[in-house]
Amino acid sequence: MASKLRLVTTLTALFGSAIALAQTPAGSHEAPAPASGSNAGSGTIAPPAADAPPDQVEKAKEVAKSAELTPIVPNPSNPTRPAYQLYAEIDVPIIAVGTVFALARLTKTSSGAPEAYCAPLCIDSGPGKNTGKLNAIDNLTKGRYSAGWSTASDYELYGLGVAAGALLLADEGLLNSLNDGVVIGEATLSATAVASIMTLAAGRPRPFLYSETAPQSVREGGDAALSFLSSHTSEAFALVTSLYIAEKRLHPHTTRPKVILGVGLGVASMIGVSRVLAGYHFITDVVGGAVVGSSLGVLIGSVHGSPVQVVPVVNNDHGVQSAGFGVSGTF
């Protein structure tokens, strides 16, 4: 009974100290300033007890540090300038997505778009000829169509999602994997939304409209002029990169996150290749999808900070050990 009371007292004291520390105004002598470049709530841990196991404390610090954002200019020469702190995980993806969006207008004006429903406007009199509406790279794959590769790309994307879910489930258990799966799902859905907006705005003809290989029902379908950019590719890259952010936080000291990233990017790239071979997207559609998907995966994964940091502490009271947890969070 006494041991339980000591445990409750330890938890209460530590939790109260954490709240007081989090609520102390910035600059006060009671609250140390966060390290330069750290984002709110990351890189900090609850003050451990004096006799807390050093290896556990260091492990907690590393886990918290793995969630920190990377400042582009970590130490400006003037402490009062500039007004904003730029972070690689946030600002670079935003700029990348904005750039691809800007290119969508150029794609629309150069592709001729809705007239593509009229086959003669796209079909050439001979193979390898360019109507003047395609760049040299995309001209290599125009006129291609394969229903088999289209089906393969669908199954590859579904398989990637199932594999990511199974990986998290085996690593974290049901509840934690569901929690992290929500963020990965948000990244994937965001990539879908961005790709959908862009394809509707660009109205670019799909490659199969540049020949009569595809069935007429396909060429006259409602999405025949929705080529730029590839939603399959953007979804795949968003899923892989957001999964990598999660794994990097879960296993900061291992090569596991990098292996998962490498394999995942390989599968995502194969999905993009399949969409090109299917005749549903040009090469630039897939490249644009990869840029947007990767950017959103990193961005959404990074802005979701780690939850409160928990550090195991051990107190010796008259030879009796009682375990507790120090909790740190922002309120």
92-146 pLDDT per residue, tens: 888 888 777 767 656 554 544 344 444 545 555 444 444 447 889 999 999 899 9
Pair of tokens at residue 197: 């907006």
* SS3 assignment, position 246: helix
DSSP-assigned letter for residue 208: G
pLDDT at 230: 94
Over residues 145-173, the mean pLDDT reads 95
R_g over Cα of the chain: 26
| Higher-confidence position of 239 and 48 | 239
Residues 311 and 193: their CA atoms lie apart, in Å, by 39
Instruction: Tell the residue number behind the tokens 């802005």, with chain if given.
Output: 303
Q: What is the pTM of this model?
A: 0.69
CB-CB contact of 87 with 39 (8 Å):
yes
Residues 184 and 150: their CA atoms lie apart, in Å, by 24
Angle at 140 between CA 134 and CA 143, to 5 degrees: 80
pLDDT at 295: 94
Instruction: Tell the residue number behind the tokens 């550090």, with chain if given.
Output: 311
Sign of CA dihedral 156, 157, 158, 159: positive
3-state helix, strand, coil in the chain (%, to 5): 60, 5, 35
Residues 297 and 201: their CA atoms lie apart, in Å, by 22
Least confident of 2-16, 91-105, 138-152, 278-292: 2-16
Residues 7 and 312: their CA atoms lie apart, in Å, by 12
pLDDT at 262: 97
**C-alpha 229: how far from chain center:** 18
Sign of CA dihedral 12, 13, 18, 24: positive
Mean pLDDT of the chain: 75
Over residues 21-44, the mean pLDDT reads 42
Over residues 264-283, the mean pLDDT reads 97
pLDDT in tens, 164-219: 999 999 998 898 889 899 899 989 989 998 998 888 888 888 999 888 889 988 88
Residues 181 and 304: their CA atoms lie apart, in Å, by 12
DSSP per-residue codes, 56-77: HHHHHHHHHHTT---BSSSS-S
Please say if the pLDDT value at position 7 is more than 70: no
What are residue 242's phi and psi, to 5 degrees?
-70, -35
pLDDT at 61: 77
